[in-house]
A and B are shown apart, each in its own frame.
Chain A
């Protein structure tokens, strides 16, 4: 039972991790806590559904289409919304409120376009892989394999490519990066591109794992993803990866009967926030975040 929960936690956590990196990258650059991120995930999931279901394309093609469409959406939104706000020197509050407005618009537009009925990808929910005492559905296996590959790829990208290092440099200090000759506009677009791709991917994987989803499901995912981001220290990409995995594990393991009889599974989201609260009490700058030098 314990191992099963660990496996489930890793599946869940790796999806959180992917999304958390997407949120964190943009936060690092633009100080934007993107409240519309969950709905961007739902957008990607639904585009992929449209390609997978009605168009009968393979799941891989569908996922790529969902990712590409979400990245395009992110880039368009940067031009029509975030850039004008940056030019106005809008601070954190303006950006956050604008993202709330955007979240409303996106989600309702999805509901308008796709309706509120639940949907499922064309995968077999009954096919199960058995690994010792652990049973994983096909969707879970796909999700964890893809997520692991993505996490490694993102990690390598940030650590060892010029573009990745540029991103991290700009997240550390935007002004200094501009002085050092980094093209701020291009780096910002790059961050949105990656953030969008990750949102699309996380949306598709979450849709796979949850089996059935509707346009509202992005919002339900958003808060655990935020919790993961905060846990990792806002703006730290590596922290976000770790925060996502830790959060997924904590959520699942809290239901383990060996842990004070286990928490009722319906309270899993509450557990996530309790973990967040405890963490912030101990380290107000986030688990992996560094205290800013005054």
Chain B
């Protein structure tokens, strides 16, 4: 039980929830604003993280140049995915997006020369060197920690991730209230009617897809910095499904529902580690990992069945159809 009381552990859970908030916010922009069923969100996260790490380690770029380029690469990935596939029917589009994220993962696993392959970022640099992409970030984090007078780096990371998350949430909230956001909401409900009012539906969808992808890229950067190492296995489709669950938990179409969903998700995900009563005690700890995912799967199903607008969603504005 001691770990339950440890601030460090919960700070870690909070950091992860913040990263998921940014990831799921991207889905909210794509699906909640524009009605796009993107199931390949994790692919954009991978593009952001890998672009930054590769530029820093292999090209010797400054982190502060490589990071924005990582975000831009994710957005460009969104454009490249969207150009051929946005004209497809929703069901085809959903399948193509999953395929896209799996292609990214396959390439990251197998193109060892570019990404370090299945060994992950440790193998990015030349053999015999410890390749680190987060040197500049760590010293920045240390300076922030010193300035804030914090004693732990976990708490510092928590402040940084959530600081960025809150800014991004506010920007998205504002964007949805502009005339631009109004067009997106219209497309979400009836794209043919919106097109017949003179709106270039395709261009708006493309923008939403690219912006959501850029948000995933930002999530990828924080993911990379938080863990100091990552490999293609970190970008399984499962992560996209977690983000969808957060979206459903929070509420569709509502920006501020995303962090609530991420918080509940983080609590469920971390909290289920500590279920030390029957029937959970019947299982070994590795089996409990399976059990945790079963619970998450069941929550997705139950939400779809009984609360298709999400916990905080407004049924009159948006439900899962």
Contacts and interface: CB of A to CB of B under 8 A. Distances in A.
Interface in B73-129: 84-85, 87-92, 94-96, 98-100, 102-103, 106-107, 109-110
A96 B94 CA distance: 9
Given A104-B294, A104-B300, A276 B96 contact: yes
A88 interface: yes
Interface in A176-199: none
B140 to A, nearest CB: 37
B107 A101 contact: no
Contacts of A266: 106, 109-110
Interface of B: prevailing SS: helix
Contacts of A102: 297, 301
Interface in B243-302: 244, 248, 283, 287, 290-291, 293-294, 296-301
A96 B100 CA distance: 17
Contact of B95 (A93, A104, A226, A285): A226
Contacts of A103: 297
Contact of B321 (A91, A101, A111): A91
Contacts of A230: 92, 95-96
B290 A111 contact: yes
Contact of B88 (A27, A267, A280): A280
B244 A97 contact: yes
Contacts of A219: 237
B48 interface: no
Nearest to A110: B290
B232 interface: no
B94 A112 contact: no
Which of B88, B107, B300 gathers most chain A CB within 10 Å?
A: B300
Given A101-B298, A281-B84, A227 B290 contact: no
Nearest to B247: A97
Interface string B219-231: 0000000000000
B160 to A, nearest CB: 31
Contacts of A270: 103, 106-107
A81 B298 CA distance: 11
Interface string A262-287: 00101101100100110011001110
B305 A85 contact: yes
Contacts of A47: none
Given A85-B305, A88-B305, A98-B304, A280 B96 contact: yes
Please indicate which of the listed interface residues A27, A92, A93, A103 has the most CB atoms of chain B within 10 Å of its own CB: A93
A90 B84 CA distance: 28
Contacts of B244: 97, 100
Given A104-B241, A105-B301, A94 B308 contact: yes
B320 interface: yes
Contact of A85 (B94, B299, B304): B304
Given A101-B300, A270-B107, A280-B88, A93 B294 contact: no
Contacts of B103: 269-270, 273
A158 interface: no
Contacts of A88: 305, 308
Interface string B189-209: 000000000000000000000
Contacts of B298: 101, 105
Contacts of A31: 91
Interface of A: 27, 31, 33, 81, 84-85, 88, 90-94, 96-98, 100-105, 107-109, 111-112, 219, 223, 226-227, 230, 234, 264, 266-267, 269-270, 273, 276-277, 280-281, 284-286
13 contacts: A31-B91, A33-B94, A97-B248, A98-B301, A100-B39, A101-B304, A104-B293, A105-B297, A105-B301, A108-B290, A226-B98, A269-B102, A284-B87
